[in-house]
Structure 1
């Protein structure tokens, strides 16, 4: 199974003028002959208007291993920034609280 990364997605939408909607991003990626995995990632985003490339980067779901080229501080900062409310975010495990541990939730 092929994997994609945030830089791959951003490269596919390089020529897009923002703000832009999801449909425009998908169309631009197809016009740029982006790989099918990148198109799938863009189609999986919520139908919102994105103000810039950073909002797109925070909204796409990619393989968690795509961050392997970042150091720990960069990954922490990226996780702290999150995305706009209601948008998809990078999948990550959150630590369980002591109460959740005690009750097995």
Structure 2
């Protein structure tokens, strides 16, 4: 799980004592914020010992562009033509079905 922002993680871990292992961090997050994005992102932490909340925040995998849809991410993975260019920086054409789904239902042809 990738986080979109680390502020929620900071809030969840604000009362935790450091240094702490990944297991201790995940247990604390499960007790304090079970089922949240922060708890899921903390489960994705690499194994290790963390010395502070800031160190945990730096280690959490982040979603580079949270506004992309799943189909845009998949299209970018399949059609990359510029090696070395980050996936979220590649230009993407929106699939026609997304345009249709995003349009106003009253304006669709019948």
Relative to the length of structure 1, the TM-score reads: 0.54
Residue 25 of structure 1 is matched in structure 2 by: 25
Q: Which runs of 5 or more structure 1 residues have no equivalent in the other structure?
A: 67-91, 95-105
- Aligned ranges 1:27-66 → 2 under 5 Å: 27-65=27-65
The alignment partner of 2:45 has SS state of coil
Deviations 1:19-56 (A, max 9, x none): 00111111111221254321221111111100111110
Flag the structure with larger Rg.
2
Aligned pair count reads 67
Relative to the length of structure 2, the TM-score reads: 0.52
The alignment partner of 2:33 has SS state of coil
Deviations 1:5-25 (A, max 9, x none): 111111111111000011111
Q: Which runs of 5 or more structure 2 residues have no equivalent in the other structure?
A: 67-84, 88-110
Residue 86 of structure 2 is matched in structure 1 by: 93
Whether the aligned pair in 2 keeps the contact of 1:41 and 1:61 (CA below 8 Å) is yes
Query: Which 4+ residue blocks in structure 1 deviate beyond 4 angstroms?
Result: none
Q: What displacement does 1:63 show?
A: 2.2
The alignment partner of 1:16 has SS state of coil
Whether the aligned pair in 1 keeps the contact of 2:33 and 2:39 (CA below 8 Å) is no
Whether the aligned pair in 2 keeps the contact of 1:10 and 1:53 (CA below 8 Å) is yes
Partner Cα separation in structure 2 for residue 18 and residue 28 of structure 1: 12
Partner Cα separation in structure 2 for residue 23 and residue 17 of structure 1: 13
Partner Cα separation in structure 2 for residue 13 and residue 64 of structure 1: 23
